[in-house]
Chains A and B, each alone.
Chain A
Amino acid sequence: MNFFVIGVNHKTAPVEVRERFAIPESRLPEATQALTSYSGVEEGMIVSTCNRVEIFARAKNGDCDLHGFVRQYYGFRQGEYEQYTFEHKHLDAVKHVFRVAASLDSMVVGESQILGQVKEAYATARAMGAVQSQLDALMSRAFQVAKKVRTDTQIATSSVSVASVAVELAEKIFGTLSGKSVYLVGAGKMCELAARHLIAHGAKKIYVSNRTYERAVALAKKFQGEAIPFESLYDSVAKADIIISSTGAPHAIFRKEHGEKFLAQRRNKPMFFIDIAVPRDVDAALNDLDGIFVYDVDDLQQVVQSHIGDRRREAERAEALVQEEVLKFQQRLQQADVVPTIVSLQEHLETIRQAEIDRLRGRLGTLTPEQEIAVEALTRGIVNKIMHTPITTLKSAAREGEQATTVVEIVRKLFNLRSAHANQRGQACDAEQPVPVAAAAKINGSSNP
């Protein structure tokens, strides 16, 4: 389990620091290259977004100095940056990867962008061969966990921005927004933003009214909408289903009597007023009318807050799920871990057996074919008897998971085996992963981890 991660995120570092760590997309392949060629690093991958920079690595032998890499790559001096970085090793690193991909580590928990960003970083690293075997397994598992978190918990079902809450509420009133018309009162930036959101969800006709008519015309043009002189505001508002108001008027411009008139004109079809002006443009009393729904900035903000609360509760369930997945992943890796040891144990004893037979062949003289077979059988029998206990111990340790690493260490020490990687050096590199995993499945009996 030689996974390591170092990085900065929105919790550990202010934006000025994150900026210095950020790696633009164009330079990402080069940075990944630098990472994998850094001493001790076998595989590596870098995720860089505006909220985080994460450097993932798998070490060749037990440890790798990612701080060293950070200093080398960014040219930082020791003691200059450490207070801003976080670092996780082994199992903690696995958990961290899972949490990041599942958007549990995000500023807005449950937002979906981060998964896409991690996937992109993974694609980049994979394309250049920086991610091959175990890191690859880790990342694919992380993506599955992220998906599971999204489907099994409701972490991402509620909207958490004012504009998306407005859309969500509009959809709760009108069902679908397609074909609905939107009236913008005031031509400010906020209005435009909210309108854009509604249009993206299907709203058709846009009307714009503003005290300065030219600005209304300019904004209407952007949405291929219709500009309406401010004087005819009250005569035209009833045409719209959704009204977004953000004028600088000191008093409410829509009062209860207006609302009653609108409803009569619309034959009581519902209307949704989104009031983003401060001081408010829409009298709160309008909300008392059957069929008119008024939300001001505070109301929208309140919905956002309650959704964030919902997400936090769901996040707790998601954390438990991630923890479970980390343990499963660990077990799987441990099972994969004992296989090389078993193989090298077998190879080691076979070498000894062959060497001993060869050494004594001179003294044995010529053997009949039957005797030849008997010697083979005798030596093989001894070797198998000796190997039996260590192998069963290894297998059961892998099944139990807990002390697999310790048992592997002990067996290696007792039989003076070299490290698994050293043994496999001779074999094709990309054959490394498939063999142990397949074998691990065999050891496990049948169950697929």
Chain B
Amino acid sequence: MPQLWLRLATVLYGLGLLQSLYQLVRRRAGEDLSRFAIPAVGLGMVFHLVSVVERALLFGYGDLLTIRYAGSGLALLIVIIFMALFARFKTASPGVFVFPLVFLLTFASAVGQQSDMAPVFRSKGWIATHVALLLIGYAALFLSFVASLLYIVQSRSLKSKQPATWLSRMPALQVIDDLGYKALLAGFPFMTIGLIAGSVVAQEQFGPTYFFDPKVLLSLLMWGVYVVLIYTRWSSGWRGRKAAYMATFAFVAAVFAWAANYVSPLHRFVAP
């Protein structure tokens, strides 16, 4: 049953995705997006939530922490944040970037094979903390990345001296900027504590060798970029292009760290 809800959610997110692609092609204002895609994605979010809760009740929350469903969990977090922002700022423009990612993450969870081995860890609490905190960290980082892209789009449009009408509903430059920075700041503690929690578990389970796992290394790289990103912003107020390059770099690192699940012995949960 949870799988059915998840698939339903995927289809609804797909509608949102189609709408955002259409919007990119037609270059029309975000009003089109919100009229049709927002209800679809909102409904998708509800099914998604139902699916996650039901799965947790049926199989225990440990099941949500498998690689397969962590993606769906991340997608759910991102959608919830997106919806909250929509309610607050009445803007659906991040949807152009948010919907494709959400769709892909959910799609992967919805159609994948039921082959993940359940993690056999001694300290389930730590693992849960590790995964949950990192998911929030990823969501915040992604949001900040989206904000920096929107910043560039809006800034270009203003500099071109012909503010395009399809952008007219985007939030103001400074609002986007604030949003990205706040997301970055909010995500940092989650990311940090999440990584620490992971190290504690790994240390306990595998001993010091865990450190040379590819995913661990990539995660540390991502964390490093994250720190630099916050530092440059804080010390010299980097915005716009430079900040966007940094954010892109951090995001790419995050994507690799995430994808490393497939090459990391630790995170495939294969006992060494």
Interface residues in chain A, defined as those with a beta carbon under 8 Å from any beta carbon in chain B: 169, 171-176, 266-270, 287, 290-291, 293, 295, 299, 302-303, 306, 310
Contact = CB atoms under 8 A, between A and B. Distances in A.
B113 interface: no
A302 B162 contact: yes
Interface in B146-173: 154-155, 158-159, 161-163, 165, 171-173
Contact of A287 (B159, B171, B173, B242): B159
Contact of B175 (A169, A175, A266, A310): A175
Nearest to B234: A267
B241 interface: yes
Contacts of B155: 290
Given A173-B158, A174-B172, A174-B174, 19 more contacts: A169-B158, A172-B154, A173-B174, A174-B173, A175-B171, A175-B173, A176-B172, A267-B237, A268-B238, A268-B239, A268-B240, A269-B237, A270-B173, A270-B174, A270-B239, A290-B155, A293-B158, A293-B159, A295-B161
Interface in B43-90: none
A306 B161 CA distance: 11
Interface residues of B, number: 20
A182 B109 CA distance: 53
Contact of B162 (A172, A287, A291, A303): A303
Nearest to A270: B173
Given A295-B161, A302-B162, A306-B162, A173 B240 contact: no
A206 B9 CA distance: 53
Interface of B: 154-155, 158-159, 161-163, 165, 171-175, 236-242
Contacts of B163: 169, 172, 303
Q: Which of A172, A293, A310 has the most CB of B within 10 A?
A: A172
Given A302-B161, A303-B162, A310-B165, A173 B173 contact: yes
A396 B163 CA distance: 54
A267 B236 contact: yes
20 contacts: A171-B172, A172-B172, A173-B158, A173-B174, A174-B173, A174-B174, A175-B172, A175-B173, A175-B174, A175-B175, A267-B236, A290-B239, A290-B241, A291-B239, A295-B161, A302-B161, A302-B162, A303-B162, A303-B163, A310-B165
Contact of B173 (A172, A267, A299, A306): A172
A28 to B, nearest CB: 40
